[in-house]
Amino acid sequence: MTVGQGIAGGKIILMGEHSVVYGQPAIALPFSKVAIQCSVDFIQGDNTVDCDFYHGKLSEAPVLLEGVRALVERTMKELGKENDGLQLRIESNLPAQRGLGSSAAVSVAVVRALYDAFKVDLTEDVLTELVGVAESIYHESPSGLDATTIASGKAVFFEKNRGKKYLPMSIDGVLVVADTGVFGQTKQAVSSVRTLWNNNPDHINPILDRLGELTMLASECLETNDSVMLGRTMNEAQALLRQIDVSDDRLEHLVEVAIESGALGAKLTGGGKGGCMIALCSTYEAANYVSQKLKEAGASNTWFYDLKEIVSHE
Ligand code: MEV
C-alpha cells in the first residue's frame, strides 16, 4: 500500500545557464508540462527502487541512481528514521538529460514522498538543501538553480550563494521548448567551461559578465512586458553560449530555424551539448508555426509554454 507520494515538474532556464555557476544571476521557470512522481511503500528488509531502467535493491542500483541512494540515506537521517524498509517507485514523463532538470526533479519527488510517508512537514529550504546532496553527485559544483526552481515551482531570479527572489511575470509571449532528441551533457559542459576559464580567464570572464548583464536585462523585460527586447537578449546569450562551446550543431540548427520562422529570439536551455532549446514567440499562432518548422528540422518533441501561466510571487 502506498504510504507516501511526491511529485515534481521540470525547469527551463530562460537566461544565465553556466554563468550562474560563476556567481552571475540567472532566471529559471518551472516547467510543469512534464513531471516525475515517486511513491513509497513500507516493506520488510532493504530499500528497493522501481523505475524505467532498474528494479531491485537501492544499494545495488546502477551509477545513474547513485544520487538517489545518497539522497534517501540523508533524508532518512534528517527524518530520524532507519534507512531501510522502503520501496520507491519512480515514474516520469520528463525526458532525462535534456536540460529540463530531470535529476533535481527526481530528487524533489523522492524527498516529498519520504516526508509524506512519515507525515512530517517539509519546508522549501529543507527540501532544497536535501536535493543539493544528489545534485552534487550528478553535476560538477551545481549552482543550486535547478533545485531551487523545481522545489519552489515558481519563476526565480537566482544568484549562487546569495539566494533567490520570485519574479513577477507579466510578459505576453509563448515559448516553444524543443528537444533535439540528443542527451545533453551538463556535467561535461560545466567541466569544459571550467577548463576554458582556468586556461584563459581574461577571455571567459567578460563573456560570463555579459551573460549576467543579459539576465538583468531579461528580468527588466519580464517586468515591462517587452518580449521583443527579451528575444534579442536570448539571441545574444546564444551567441555567447556558443563562444564558450556549450552549444552544438543540432541546437544551432534549431535556433536558426526558429529565428527564420519568425521567433523573436531563441537559445539553448540548460547545460547544452544536446538537450533542449527555447524559442520566444509573440502569439500561439506564431508558436504553432515555429513548432512545426522545428519538428520538420528534426526536433523530437516540442511543448508550448505560455509565459503568463507561470506561477509568480513577489
Ligand atoms: C544546468 O541545468 C544549469 C547549469 O548552469 C549548471 C548549474 O547551474 O549548476 C549549466
Is 121 a residue of the active site? no
Does 102 sit in the ligand 1 pocket, CB within 6 Å? no
Name the band, by pLDDT with cuts 50, 70 and 90, for residue 221.
Answer: very high
- Contact assessment for residue 105 and residue 10, using Cβ atoms and an 8 Å cutoff: yes
Whether the pLDDT of residue 206 is over 80: the answer is yes
Q: What is the pLDDT of residues 44-103, one digit of tens each?
A: 999 999 999 999 999 999 998 999 999 999 999 999 999 999 999 999 999 888 889 999
Residue 218 CA to residue 285 CA, distance in Å, equals 23
Main-chain phi, psi angles of 306, to 5 degrees: -75, 115
What is residue 97's predicted lDDT score, i.e. its pLDDT?
Answer: 87
Our mutation pick for probing the ligand 1 site, out of 14, 94, 143, 164, counting the most ligand atoms within 8 A of Cβ, is 143
- Is the entire prediction scored with pTM above 0.85? yes
Q: How confident is the model at residue 141 (pLDDT cuts 50, 70, 90)?
A: confident
Using a 6 Å cutoff on CB, does residue 271 contact ligand 1?
Answer: yes
3-state secondary structure (DSSP) of residue 213: helix
Is 270 a pocket residue for ligand 1 (Cβ < 6 Å)?
Answer: yes
In angstroms, the CA 207 to CA 200 distance is: 12
Return d(Cα 114, Cα 3) in angstroms, integer: 9
Q: What is the mean pLDDT of residues 189-202?
A: 96
pLDDT averaged over the chain? 95
Q: Which of 46, 121, 125, 146 is catalytic?
A: 146
* Parallel, antiparallel or unpaired: strands 54-57 and 48-51: antiparallel
Determine the residue of 22, 159, 185, 190 to mutate for testing ligand 1's pocket, defined as the one with the most ligand atoms within 8 A of the Cβ atom: 190
